[in-house]
Structure 1
Amino acid sequence: MPGRPRGNLRPAFRRWRAGRPFWGGLLLALGGAEILLTLKASLDVILHVGMQGLAGYLLPAVMLLCGLLVLFNPTQRLFYSVIGVLVSLGTWLTSNLGGFFVGLLLGVVGSCLAFGWLPDQEPRVSRRRRRKAARAAKTAIPAQP
């Protein structure tokens, strides 16, 4: 993209990311991708626990899809995150113990982050800024005799 200045991409991405549960959707999608990749591991690494048929591929694909839907359709994040956590827990039985626990944990944590995201919440003020504001307020008020 030679026509666009490079400095405009970062603020645009930050605005886009601020309007959606970015980290929750990303972790959920990464969990699904990790489980799909562990299904293709060599035979020395694979654990054959549970059903190894269509469900072994279907549940991580649904995780990946829910993660992408949380990112690109944040208005329905509650539904997608509930489906994501249920499917993540289901991979325990179907997909190499949830991708050797890594994909399972990524999916559960990502779903919880997406579920708990509040779109209209103001950004938190850091403890340092609160202390500075309290000190400034204390020094600004003159002592009354």
Structure 2
Amino acid sequence: MTDIDVDHPLDPPAGSWQEEHLSRYVRTGGEDGHIWNGAPTLLLTTRDRELGRARRTGLIYGRDGDRYLVVASAGGRAEHPIWYQNLSADPEVLVQVFDERFPARARSADPDEKPRLWQIMTGIWPAYDDYQAQTEREIPLVIIERV
């Protein structure tokens, strides 16, 4: 992540709720935006697999010890979200929680560990079970660890 411009990433479309949320989060160091609809959020920056530029996304997260957990649900759509496709190509990411930014490595949970971690995430955002029920793809649960 250090060789791309993380200060001017590709963000969600201007005027979208995602862009507005991300803008508030960045502007206030997460004081306004860390909690979104009752759930904690972090900012995940991945390298765009096609353009090579940083791409930042706000995501609901959970914790498993020192590890951060996020779900690549895309609201139950048939395709994996862009951020997940990006980290699948390059697992080196940048994470922001409140005003702390740190480099990390992301990976999909394996089949043995996913059920326990999925319970953590559905405890935070129960709709993940609904999203899984409405798509044929297996929704990945991503584990993020500081490097």
For the criterion TM > 0.5, the same-fold answer is no
| TM-score category of the 2 structures, normalised to the smaller one | under 0.3
Greater strand proportion: 2
Higher-RCO chain (CA-CA 8 Å, sequence separation at least 6): 1
